[in-house]
Structure 1
Amino acid sequence: MLFFPSLLFLAAGLAVDDVIALPSQKPLAIEPLRPKKLHGRFLHITDIHPDPHYVQKASESTACHRRKSKKKKNISLYYGTPYSECDSPFALTNFTLDYLKESWADEIDFVIWTGDNARHDNDRQIPRTPSEIYDLNRSIATKMHKLFSSRGIHVVPSLGNNDIWPHNILSPGPNSITNEFAQIWSQFIPFPYLQVFQRGAYYTVEVVPDQLAAISLNTMYFYDSNKVVSGCPFTDPNDPGNLQIDWMEVQLEMYRKRGMQVWITGHVPPSASNYFPECYVRYAELSLRYQDTIVGHLFGHMNVDHFFLLDAGDLNAFPKLDSKKGGSGNSKIRGEGTFYDALLEEFSSLPKSPKMTDYAAVNVAPSVVPNPYLPAFRIFSYNITGASNGAPPMVTQRRKHGEHRNDRNNSASCEHPDYQKTWRCHLDQPWHSDENSPSRTNQLWTPLGYAQFFIPALDEASKNKPPRFELEYMTYPLDLLHPETTEGAEGEFVYPVPLAYLPEPLRTPGSKKSKFAPYEMRDLTIPSWIRLARQIADGERRKLRKRFLKYMYLGGEAE
């Protein structure tokens, strides 16, 4: 077993069994989750990146591993080094997880945890090893179990590109990595899915039994940096990416027939700049086909706070066959300039009267690791009015039949023999895009918004002065913060953000404007996301654009 000297000075004041440390190899006993009253909130946390070799007062140029720098501004800090290329010290990891335990464990229903729980491979003098990666993941998983799932709160982890060795590279399973994580996450993965997980590292959890599920994907089989898979080619049905999409389709159809709603979660976001072309096409088509069943898409990896839209137009774009990326949609995100500029260009291309059936919104959360920005996490809220709270499944409205997509402009291109071997020319299943579904209109299970918390003064923290998580911004309008005062409010009052976690001026009704509420979104339905994208694209909305840019990089410089 590895021994890390840096474990000797973990966060002060924490009990031995409360710190991130080297875990026992003994598997945890699986405790049954107890039904609990719903709070209408959940946590999304991603990219923790704990680093056992982090040293205080070390040089940033050594990944904060060695003391070389004599310049004060270039040395590592006790709780982490903001806007740097250094990973998280255990002090920050423990502080974050203990804060979540003390402040949020009694306020949420489940946890979406989207990967990267080992350090980056950014120091040639201290290369990563499989044992170190597994030990770090096992440590975080042990603490996640203690903080959440042991209390009856489902935790839904996903595999990150730095959770494997070498990073980015994962061969088709079953293999040593999928088998190892099946053991590490055994307390989170439902037993019926363990065999599926060993094959491909994906699974599903009913976070509200019989009513709401989360599908955790293994995006390594879609990620175009993974050079040992083929990238979902139409001609290879046994490619691991194709097998995963096939499995995902079966799960969505099953949940749709049961009248349930689903969150899709994973590490690497589903854009054409990240996914193999054919994997992207299949993911986008399946997401739009089950728009009445999928309430949202949650991802990490990018460390940049943003959202983007899956667009049916991507399915009609036929790239040059020798193109590296295949031009499979969202090509504007790969344009010149900063990532922010590319998003503005994408938002600006939305039609004046977009067809809602053609879109889905993908949310990408910022990271805990201050590499290269600031530590952050999100608390989402969702509509639970009418939820059965552990009672027998409620009777849901009958789903409408799907809409055949005969308007697709691909007939001429698909006559080409090479295009006949691509997925674009074979995705002809009916689309289920009910305008009365939770992804389109506010009702039971509709996502309502999120509040983002961050540590703005990480550079001022020290061993004797712990940092503080503060509200950075939220998507809600101010009147929804106090539901008992909202005109026309129905059902049980659920505060999207508990009042104790709001800045003092927002704890009582009456505020008209606030820097903490720049978007004023009444929910996170597809129409609301499209409306926000159009507002950001509006060149006259300079203040909103400035806010969006600031939040993207948590106050850092645009890239």
Structure 2
Amino acid sequence: MSSTYNNSESTALLSSGSSCSRRSRLASCSRGVWAVTAIATLATLAVIAMAWAMLATNDLNGGGGDKGDRRLNSTSVGRFIHITDLHVDPNYKDGATAYSQCHRVPKTSDHSDDSSLTGRFGRPNAKCDSPVALINTTSAYLRRQWSQKVDFVAWTGDSGRHDGDAEFPRTLDEIIEQNAIAAQSLRHAFGSHIPIVPNVGNNDVSPHNELPGPGHKRARRTFRQLAHAWGGLVPDDQLATFHYGGYFARDLADYPQGGGGLTALSVNTMYWYRANAKVGGCKAKDSPGLAQLAWIRWQIRRARERGRDLVILGHVAPNQDNYRPSCYHGYMRTVAQIVPPPGPHSPPIIHAQLFGHSNVDAWAFVGPDADWASPTNNTASDSRLWWERQVDEEEGRFGELIHGVWSEEEQSMRSETTVPDERDWATMEDDSPPVRPAVPGDFVETLLREYERVIMQTPRHPRLGVTTISPSVIPKLLPAFRVFHYLRHTDSAWRHLPPGTLLDYDVYTANLYSHNKKAPPVDGFYQRLYRFSDVYGINDLSVDSYVRWARRLLTSKSMRKRFRALTFLDM
């Protein structure tokens, strides 16, 4: 079957485990930015239900994967979960109309077609957020099936509901409350022994898409209240950094052999996001976006010194449509590790870049394809651009941030951090053209063109990365999440790869079309839709493997058809 999708925003997953009764009135949906606008007809539901029935015997559900299962079940392989875009809505009502954003039950005399009403666990293809029943059941499922099987959890933002119902205008207090529900649900699912790394989404701030720069009273209030709502998920030695800019670092897992391990950088994509009119681009020396790039580069240097590799997680994925131009190019150059390695230390590897926001199941290349500004003043021994040299300096503004805000060693010597005074960030230099209304496009074709461009321009892909976009648990398509398999230490099966390399992933989905009719046992609420290696014949998720797979994808019509179907979880 096929899907029509306008990629303008995302929604996602999460679990909840405790009380969900709420004093406040909550509403759902984004302000006209949701991609799917048509309500599914009864015929469409029947077709999708038939397709799901076919999955039971389909090779996508693990068929042909015995060899892969044996390799991934090795003790050298670890796992982690990526979940994103909760959008929990305690105002959701079973039996409500979709056009009321699932908030109001119709009068019997006005509505006789039950097929267009909401179900207990959510309504796919409708402008509705996640009901509490979906959150609770997801939490219970994760607790039973995954709490003893994963090393950490990446949670990439947007736990606040959308603000699309005029009868229930959203407030920051409600957003904070919904983030607390999400954090409690994850704690219930995974306990306190598994690191959970949260992230700020564009619906975790108020108003939607608006976040002033560091020092502004609204930014300070938002970051402090989010950190409190998340209940200790931001490490104590990173609180000053998070209170300043909404980003932080956390060690995830240690490699059992040879030292080192994985460290997460939870970045605040709101300071690069085009839709955030409260900040400009990354050209100005005091821009929040440039400061965050400086922080990432500093964390790369620290990771090199500590012998650790990195996982970057954020909400809005980096591309030319989402990020301001200077921030996009700055991010590409930074994550492609164009940083001269000092001394004998080898550069750390960024093994994963995990994002949400777009609801779909997708990935994209990221790498330096442009010099953001001239002159570069490069020399034979220093290939950095002007801004890279500036942010790497220990003197001046960024040196003050390193020693006054970002360094946990410095933080241990004082109880409160001084941040820059509030300023009118809206007057900052803005390198973006005026924002135009989104034009519906073919999301998959856009991805394919980008794959082709990268492969043609970078035949040997010397400095490429891959960003992965995980599907959502919010029932915009179907609730879903990913389980990644990664290499904890080398063995005979993986001797050619360094520790930390992503090896494979599984996508799990919940069939709401049947669950709303008859709730299954909790253990069966989510089923594996497919394993990446089984479908595409890929050996691991290294950049080299992605490049080879993209070349095959561009030349195979049947593979592109399957790729399109899986992108929208509709096979």
Q: Given the two structures, how large is their TM-score scaled by the length of structure 2?
A: 0.69
Partner-residue secondary structure (3-state), 2:264: strand
Alignment of 1:112-511 (within 5 A): 112-150=154-192, 152-174=193-215, 175-209=220-254, 210-233=260-283, 236-289=284-337, 292-315=348-371, 324-325=432-433, 337-349=441-453, 350-351=455-456, 354-371=459-476, 373-385=477-489, 442-462=497-517, 464-465=519-520, 468-476=525-533
Identity of aligned residues (%): 34
Q: Deviations over 1:56-94 (max 9, x none)?
A: 111111101112354323211111111221111100011
Q: Deviations over 1:473-505 (max 9, x none)?
A: 1122xxxxxxxxxxxxxxxxxxxxxxxxxxxxx
In the superposition, relative to structure 1, how do residues 170 and 322 fare at CA in structure 2: closer, same or farther (>3 Å)? closer
Counterpart of 2:544 in structure 1 is: 527
In the superposition, relative to structure 1, how do residues 317 and 454 fare at CA in structure 2: closer, same or farther (>3 Å)? farther
Please, which runs of 5 or more residues in structure 1 have no aligned partner?
A: 1-13, 24-36, 328-333, 388-437, 477-516
Quick one: which amino acid aligns to residue 552 of structure 2? Q
- Counterparts of 2:169 and 2:467 in 1: how far apart (Å)? 34
> Residues 21 and 90 of structure 2 are in contact (CA less than 8 Å); yes or no, is this contact kept in structure 1?
no
In the superposition, relative to structure 1, how do residues 125 and 70 fare at CA in structure 2: closer, same or farther (>3 Å)? farther
> Residues 282 and 327 of structure 2 are in contact (CA less than 8 Å); yes or no, is this contact kept in structure 1?
yes
Partner-residue secondary structure (3-state), 1:283: helix
Partner-residue secondary structure (3-state), 1:141: helix
What displacement does 1:123 show? 0.8
- Counterparts of 1:80 and 1:354 in 2: how far apart (Å)? 45
Quick one: which amino acid aligns to residue 169 of structure 2? P
Partner-residue secondary structure (3-state), 1:357: coil
Q: Deviations over 1:385-436 (max 9, x none)?
A: 259xxxxxxxxxxxxxxxxxxxxxxxxxxxxxxxxxxxxxxxxxxxxxxxxx
Q: Deviations over 1:333-378 (max 9, x none)?
A: x99741111112122232297222231111000100012x000000
- Counterparts of 1:266 and 1:342 in 2: how far apart (Å)? 21
Please, which runs of 5 or more residues in structure 2 have no aligned partner?
A: 1-14, 24-74, 255-259, 339-346, 375-428
2:565 to 538, 550, 557: 550
What displacement does 1:553 show? 0.9
Partner-residue secondary structure (3-state), 2:310: strand
- Counterparts of 1:267 and 1:375 in 2: how far apart (Å)? 17
- Counterparts of 1:239 and 1:139 in 2: how far apart (Å)? 33
- Counterparts of 1:261 and 1:322 in 2: how far apart (Å)? 33
- Counterparts of 1:358 and 1:173 in 2: how far apart (Å)? 31
Quick one: which amino acid aligns to residue 276 of structure 1? R
In the superposition, relative to structure 1, how do residues 288 and 441 fare at CA in structure 2: closer, same or farther (>3 Å)? farther
> Residues 273 and 325 of structure 1 are in contact (CA less than 8 Å); yes or no, is this contact kept in structure 2?
no
- Counterparts of 2:368 and 2:458 in 1: how far apart (Å)? 14
In the superposition, relative to structure 1, how do residues 336 and 21 fare at CA in structure 2: closer, same or farther (>3 Å)? closer
- Counterparts of 1:323 and 1:163 in 2: how far apart (Å)? 25
> Residues 347 and 536 of structure 1 are in contact (CA less than 8 Å); yes or no, is this contact kept in structure 2?
no
Quick one: which amino acid aligns to residue 540 of structure 2? D
Relative contact order, higher structure (CA 8 A, sep 6+)? 2
1:64 lines up with 2:105 in the alignment: no
> Residues 222 and 276 of structure 1 are in contact (CA less than 8 Å); yes or no, is this contact kept in structure 2?
yes
What displacement does 1:465 show? 4.7
- Counterparts of 2:356 and 2:238 in 1: how far apart (Å)? 23
In the superposition, relative to structure 1, how do residues 215 and 312 fare at CA in structure 2: closer, same or farther (>3 Å)? same
Partner-residue secondary structure (3-state), 1:356: coil
Quick one: which amino acid aligns to residue 232 of structure 2? Q
Quick one: which amino acid aligns to residue 452 of structure 1? V
What displacement does 1:464 show? 5.0
Quick one: which amino acid aligns to residue 513 of structure 2? L
Root-mean-square deviation (CA, aligned residues, Å) is: 2.9
Q: Is 284-293 or 120-129 further displaced after alignment?
A: 284-293
Partner-residue secondary structure (3-state), 1:170: coil
Q: Given the two structures, how large is their TM-score scaled by the length of structure 1?
A: 0.71
Quick one: which amino acid aligns to residue 450 of structure 2? E
What displacement does 1:317 show? 10
In the superposition, relative to structure 1, how do residues 60 and 317 fare at CA in structure 2: closer, same or farther (>3 Å)? farther
Partner-residue secondary structure (3-state), 1:207: strand
- Counterparts of 1:471 and 1:88 in 2: how far apart (Å)? 21
2:78 to 32, 40, 51: 40
> Residues 78 and 463 of structure 1 are in contact (CA less than 8 Å); yes or no, is this contact kept in structure 2?
no
> Residues 141 and 185 of structure 1 are in contact (CA less than 8 Å); yes or no, is this contact kept in structure 2?
yes
> Residues 336 and 342 of structure 1 are in contact (CA less than 8 Å); yes or no, is this contact kept in structure 2?
no
> Residues 315 and 355 of structure 2 are in contact (CA less than 8 Å); yes or no, is this contact kept in structure 1?
yes
> Residues 241 and 247 of structure 2 are in contact (CA less than 8 Å); yes or no, is this contact kept in structure 1?
yes
In the superposition, relative to structure 1, how do residues 316 and 17 fare at CA in structure 2: closer, same or farther (>3 Å)? closer
Quick one: which amino acid aligns to residue 263 of structure 2? A
